């Protein structure tokens, strides 16, 4: 496959990868390129920013969760009709699962996709030392194709010139641009990362300012040239999308409270035989009679707990649907929503759906990392004894879980709900802290769709 592509990586988290990446994506689009965005690793928020500036759904590529062949397949399928693919890295370029190998790192993903890499360096308070930093990144892994550097947070043209001279003389690689510090393009965050685009009514002005900064500070033609010089990529056999005639309808929660989804999960569900419609648990009052399944993703239900609790009609409707055997799959924020209540950061308790006899408590302690588990009990996604990979990312705990609860997973890596188990099962409802990418095993989507079709035939 001949595809222009480049990875925008960073020396460390917080270096400005997302700002630089969305700026480059938006700037290239404004120059007439069809741009496909990707995000390395398990991130739900950054891809939504890519989507806004490119007009195309950004995709996640995780080199630890997904099989290597699946990564290449997903990349090729998503970028097939694009002019250029931009992959935003995760953490620092070489950071991954642990300090001993490259598993899960941006570097590993770049090598799998045979992508040239442009490294973003935070130049604040540096000059000639930028050359030493760049040289270290160039030489650390000889198999990695580092093709250039971008300076971020430079103080002046003179500062940018000093850093550029140091880097180019040390590495013999180009500095393709320098972006000056600008407090007006700061990306606001909360406890799980950037504020989701679903909440940002002021996103357009910020985006415009970021893109303008990239236009003036980065040589976009040089970026495109580096991407065009990517070597051919052996394309995996396509998994053709099929749309069965006998289709069921699934409602997917999507609003300010629930927005954490892998776009490929939605695509795979649709290809397996469901019509996806989006709904808001903040607004909707009932479930239509033709809905045969629910998907409740992660997000920020704790931030919108007051509004969620006030919508008692939909809480009751979801509780009844679960008791009636409707297939319901929930992750993280969705799990919290399906418990008896959420106690927020201020200690205020808000009643939720009460599908599961358990309580959710927000804490100040972050649970973050990759997960691995074995399936203990057949459920709507997996048969017993199947292996599962995913990730968890939250500031909450599930407490006072009923003693007669049924767990879906036995944890081999990660915390889950109680340090040993994850995934609560009630009838045909499955809810876990673990986020799953359905391309890990394409039978996940098939199994869930099969359950919705069974429910539709009742």
Q: Is 193 exposed, middle or buried (0-12, 13-18, 19+ CB in 10 A)?
A: middle
Q: Do residues 314 and 285 lie in contact, with contact meaning Cβ atoms separated by under 8 Å?
A: yes
State the Cα–Cα distance between residues 210 and 200, nearest whole angstrom.
15
Angle between helices 203-217 and 17-30 (to 10 degrees): 80
State whether residue 250 is helix, strand or coil.
Answer: strand
Residue among 361, 335, 366 at smallest CA distance from 192: 366
Name, in order, each residue with C-beta under 8 angstroms of 343's C-beta and a sequence gap of 6 or more.
Answer: 349, 350, 359, 360, 361, 362
Angle at 256 between CA 425 and CA 452, to 5 degrees: 35
Residue at token pair 């997904």: 66
Q: What are phi and psi of 202, to 5 degrees?
A: -100, 20
Going by C-alpha positions, the residue among 384, 370, 385, 373 that lies closest to residue 412 is 373
Active-site residue numbers? 332
């Amino acid at each position: 496959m001949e595809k222009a592509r480049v990875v925008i990586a960073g020396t460390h988290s917080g270096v400005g990868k997302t700002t630089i990446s969305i700026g480059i994506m938006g700037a290239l689009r404004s120059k007439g390129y069809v741009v496909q965005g990707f995000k390395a690793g398990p991130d739900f928020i950054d891809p939504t920013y890519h989507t806004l500036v490119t007009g195309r759904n950004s995709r996640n590529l995780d080199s630890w969760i997904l099989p290597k062949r699946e990564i290449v397949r997903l990349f090729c399928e998503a970028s097939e009709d694009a002019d250029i693919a931009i992959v935003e890295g995760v953490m620092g370029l070489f950071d991954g699962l642990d300090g001993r190998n490259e598993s899960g790192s941006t570097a590993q993903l770049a090598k799998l996709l045979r992508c040239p890499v442009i490294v973003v360096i935070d130049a604040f308070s540096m000059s000639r030392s930028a050359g030493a930093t760049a040289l270290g990144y160039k030489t650390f892994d000889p198999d990695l194709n580092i093709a250039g550097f971008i300076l971020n947070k430079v103080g002046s043209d003179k500062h940018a010139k000093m850093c550029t001279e140091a880097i180019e003389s040390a590495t013999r690689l180009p500095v393709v641009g320098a972006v000056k510090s600008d407090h007006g393009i700061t990306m606001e965050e909360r406890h799980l990362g950037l504020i989701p685009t679903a909440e940002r009514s002021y996103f357009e002005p910020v985006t415009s300012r970021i893109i303008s900064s990239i236009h003036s500070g980065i040589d976009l033609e040089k970026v495109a040239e580096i991407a065009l010089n990517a070597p051919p990529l052996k394309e995996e056999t396509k998994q053709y999308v099929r749309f069965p005639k006998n289709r069921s309808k699934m409602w997917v929660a999507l609003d300010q409270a629930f927005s954490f989804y892998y776009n490929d999960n939605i695509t795979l569900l649709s290809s397996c035989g469901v019509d996806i419609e989006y709904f808001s648990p903040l607004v909707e009052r009932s479930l239509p009679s033709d809905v045969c399944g629910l998907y409740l993703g992660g997000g920020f239900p704790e931030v919108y707990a007051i509004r969620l609790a006030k919508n008692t009609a939909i809480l009751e409707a979801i509780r009844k649907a679960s008791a009636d055997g409707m297939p319901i799959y929930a992750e993280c924020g969705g799990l919290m929503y399906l418990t008896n209540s959420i106690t927020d950061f201020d200690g205020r308790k808000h009643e939720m759906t009460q599908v599961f006899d358990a309580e959710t408590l927000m804490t100040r302690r972050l649970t973050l990392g990759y997960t691995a588990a074995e399936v203990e009990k057949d459920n709507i996604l997996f048969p017993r004894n199947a292996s599962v990979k995913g990730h968890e990312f939250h500031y909450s705990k599930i407490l006072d879980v009923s003693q007669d609860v049924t767990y879906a997973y036995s944890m081999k890596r990660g915390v889950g709900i109680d340090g040993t188990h994850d995934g609560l099962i009630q009838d045909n409802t499955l809810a876990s802290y673990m986020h799953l990418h359905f391309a890990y095993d394409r039978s996940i989507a098939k199994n869930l769709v099969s359950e919705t079709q069974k429910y539709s035939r009742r």
